[in-house]
Structure 1
């Protein structure tokens, strides 16, 4: 093997190792892919959607986040309804945070198919410091803070950034 061929092989090997290292670092510390498991976030996210989760962004009210389940070893995907210190109230299917009424347009599709009744039972909660209150968009089918309570901010993996599969449904999440 000539000296030139050895140099080319070495250059290619260096490039490949660098690429693998870059992908590893990005996946560990910046973005990670997650598969949606279940129907609790329908219609926003559907079962078996693939999403990218941004691990280095701040979390705001109404962001879709991924966190470690407080009741199993799985990841959960839910929408942040309350931040630390917030007073949450749901009354007659309307959301109030700190006394201010908020529209929830992501619930509209589920409200339209509901023959009668409410998607969300009335509730009142105050979110403790260091915690978040989360609910799924498919309120009738979601296992969320109404069942398992508040989630620790430390358990948040990150914010859902992009649905990349199925390809025909690719879109930015949390716009």
Structure 2
């Protein structure tokens, strides 16, 4: 075959074929690298930086910041080979229709809601007198901002136990007085969880902001009405209206 014909044949068939094979090799290697990267995120060797906004997770997280999380996958096939289990005390990031609507209403660009797993499938959770009970046991929560500060709302009422079904988790923010969580938006599906921090990985870093819970249960019968705080608020309003301050 003449040399010119061979060159033409190469340009028409061989060179495009080699180009395609090269692209396939690069794509294959890229896929492997991405798969390894995600695997390392799943097992916690590499973490994902997630922006956190708002005061609902005080004192554990700051009001504004970026926190390192472990990627979570709820896919049943993947869980079979790389099991991940959400445990009590884990902090989770989740997204669903309700979180999207609320974040849009607040005009925030946050990734999702960041809350703490308190009740798992099979657990019975009860909120009563400012405390949280799990399976009949009142729990000490060093991570919450203030003791005896948990009260019900529209989805979870005070003194009404909630049985957590399969596939769901009961979540609460650490700053209980302002957090929007299961009490307002209901139980969270494991399918909605994107990232998490196991409780044991919070120790030695985030726990430096937690409280001493020694006296938490001794306040059970104390009045929840703070007279000094109420008087201060009342005097602020009286001052605005030119009235003399009340004394207590």
TM-score (norm 2): 0.50
Aligned match for 2:205, one of 162, 171, 174 = 171
Taking the TM superposition and a 5 Å limit, the aligned residue runs for 1:8-157 are 21=33, 25-26=37-38, 29-30=41-42, 31-56=47-72, 57-73=84-100, 74-107=111-144, 109-111=145-147, 119-121=149-151, 122-123=158-159, 124-157=161-194
8 A contact 2:95–2:113 mirrored in 1: yes
Q: Kindly indicate whether the alpha-carbon contact (under 8 Å) linking 1:44 and 1:106 is maintained by their aligned counterparts in 2.
A: yes
- Between the aligned partners of 2:98 and 2:49, the Cα distance in structure 1 is 22
Which shifted more, 75-84 or 123-132?
123-132
- More strand by proportion, 1 or 2? 1
8 A Cα contact 1:69 1:76, kept in partner = no
Compare relative contact order (CA 8 Å, sep 6+) and give the higher one, 1 or 2: 1
Number of residue pairs the alignment of both structures matches:
143
Report the alpha carbon displacement of residue 61 of structure 1 after superposing the two structures with TM: 0.9
Q: Once superposed, which parts of structure 1, at least 4 consecutive aligned residues long, lie more than 6 Å away? A: none
Q: For residues 54 and 96 of structure 2, what CA distance do their matches in structure 1 show?
A: 14
Tell me if structure 1 keeps the 8 A contact 2:92–2:196. Answer: yes
Distance 2:121 2:129 in 1: 24
Unaligned runs of 5+ residues in structure 2 are 1-25, 73-83, 101-110, 152-157, 208-248
Matched residue SS, 1:36: strand
Q: Distance in 2 between matches of 1:72 and 1:65?
A: 13
d(CA) in 2 for partners of 1:90, 1:33: 33
Q: Which residue of 1 aligns with 2:216?
A: none
Aligned alpha-carbon RMSD (Å): 3.0
Cα distance between partner residues in 1 of 2:196 and 2:115: 10
Distance (Å, rounded) in 1 between the aligned partners of 2:113 and 2:185: 12
Partner in structure 1 of residue 15 of structure 2: none
Look up the match of 1:115.
none
Q: Which runs of 5+ in 1 are unaligned?
A: 1-13, 112-117, 164-169
Larger relative helix fraction: 2
